[in-house]
Amino acid sequence: MKELVERLYPVCRSITGNGLRRTLEIIGEQVELAVSEVPTGTQVLDWTVPREWNIRDAWVKDAGGRKVIDFAEHNLHIVGYSTPVHATMSLAELREHLHTLPEQPDLIPYRTSYYSETWGFCLRHDVLESLPDGDYEVFIDSTLDDGSLSYGEHVVPGELTDEFIVSCHICHPSLANDNMAGVAVAVELATRLAETKPRYTYRFIFAPGTIGAITWLARNFDRVDRVRGGFTLACAGDRGSLTYKRSRRGDAPVDRAMEHVLRESGREHKVIDFSPYGYDERQYCSPGFNLGVGSLTRTPYAGYPEYHTSGDNPDFVTEESMTDTLDTLWAAVGVLERDRRYVNLSPYGEPQLGRRGLYESLGGRSDTKQAQMAMLWVLNLSDGEHSLLDIAHRAGIPFATVADAADALRGAGLVKE
């Protein structure tokens, strides 16, 4: 995962363009991707696919011809979607197009101008403060033309066509935690799932933020009823503890699964309520769709000083944090896969478990007493209305123990799905 972050990090991405396509190519070397190209001007819900932006070079030179800002040195130096320019101007004029972080003078900020035609540069504040008065040559070799918006999908087919989605935004240039760590974790999760035979279908969506999710929804309007929920995944590799943001519904399958996993893990974490701001969960959870998509991050949106700056580099991302994020997702998927509703086939009184060998089957387990209690809880609450996760929550027993009990009872002919 760390190697993938390091490889993706230098690519200059935006919501359209060749950097976005290159990102999808690299992801496609890890997992098979179906890439869609949606032409400029296409109506997608209440939005329109914008013109495609590409950039080749950009710099600012002082009077002596020295490059004081150079896109080739760091692609955050250019304001995303900057229009082409070649002009000479005073420092006072140039300052109108320069962006810095005075409170973080050694970092380059990330800025964009997707939907308004302008140009600009980002730089370290201490560099700006060192620039003398005089004339500066400004050059941006970019294009803003009709083209297309690109996004990719990877599907791990399951026994059922009902599906869960995992969605990552891939539009930010050179921001390792927001967003490439999420991409790397998603790729590894897809790889793990492909080694199993999942019950549900899992769809991984790699798309530019906001407009990409909106475009996917617009083009899949007639099939979103298959989506049982999902996760947006970002900020997956910083050293902060995990944060789960519930879906708009608040009690969607993914909400309940993730909250159970985090609670049972004993690790430090936060669960926060939905708000219509953040990542693309707000598109999937817009009221017309209401898909039950939550958001998993470590330190959440804008919650760390390096957020949307050059400080969000590969060194900021740790292997341990990405592994922890992946393992948490894997555990939540395990709950989603095994959660069922059962009906007790012997509901009049407690069936005799000993003569069916069920107590003996628990021999050697370190949690024998808890496993026995799990069987009794499953029998008592298997009325077709309570799921195994409901039972685990009410009984205060780990989900895996309850699911194992249900498997044993089903094998003995005492419950059916």
Domain 2-50+149-338 adopts which CATH fold?
A: Aminopeptidase (3.40.630)
CA distance 376 to 392: 12
pLDDT tens column, 388-397: 999 999 999 9
pLDDT band at 292 (very low <50, low <70, confident <90, very high): very high
Mean pLDDT of 65-88: 98
In this prediction, residue 368 has a pLDDT band, given cuts at 50, 70 and 90, of: confident
CATH number of 57-145: 3.50.30.90
% pLDDT > 90, the chain: 94
CA separation, residue 368 to residues 184, 373, 382, 400, 414 (Å): 39, 9, 21, 14, 20
Cα–Cα dist 78/99, whole Å:
10
Give per-residue pLDDT as tens, 84-115. 999 999 999 999 999 999 999 999 999 999 98
Would you say domain 341-416 falls under CATH 3.40.140.10? Answer: no
Q: Which residues make up the CATH 3.40.630.10 domain(s) of the chain?
A: 2-50+149-338
Q: Where in the chain is the domain with CATH 1.10.10.10?
A: 341-416
pLDDT band at 366 (very low <50, low <70, confident <90, very high): low
- 3-state DSSP assignment of residue 117: coil
* Percent of the chain scoring above 70 in pLDDT: 98
Q: Taking residues 318-346, report their average pLDDT.
A: 98
- 365 — pLDDT class (breaks 50, 70, 90): low
Separation between Cα atoms, residue 236 and residue 309, nearest integer Å: 16
Q: Residue 358 above 90 pLDDT?
A: no
Please state the rounded mean pLDDT for residues 333-362. 90
Span 167-206, pLDDT tens digits: 999 999 999 999 999 999 999 999 999 999 999 999 999 9
Environment class of residue 7 by beta-carbon count within 10 Å: exposed (0-12), middle (13-18) or buried (19+)? Answer: middle
For the question of whether the overall pTM of this predicted structure is more than 0.75, the answer is yes
HSE, side-chain direction, 13 A CA sphere, residue 174: 21
CB 204 within 8 A of CB 190: yes
Average pLDDT over residues 264-270: 94
DSSP-assigned letters across all residues of 154-185: EEE--SSS-EEEEEEE---SS-IIIIIIHHHH
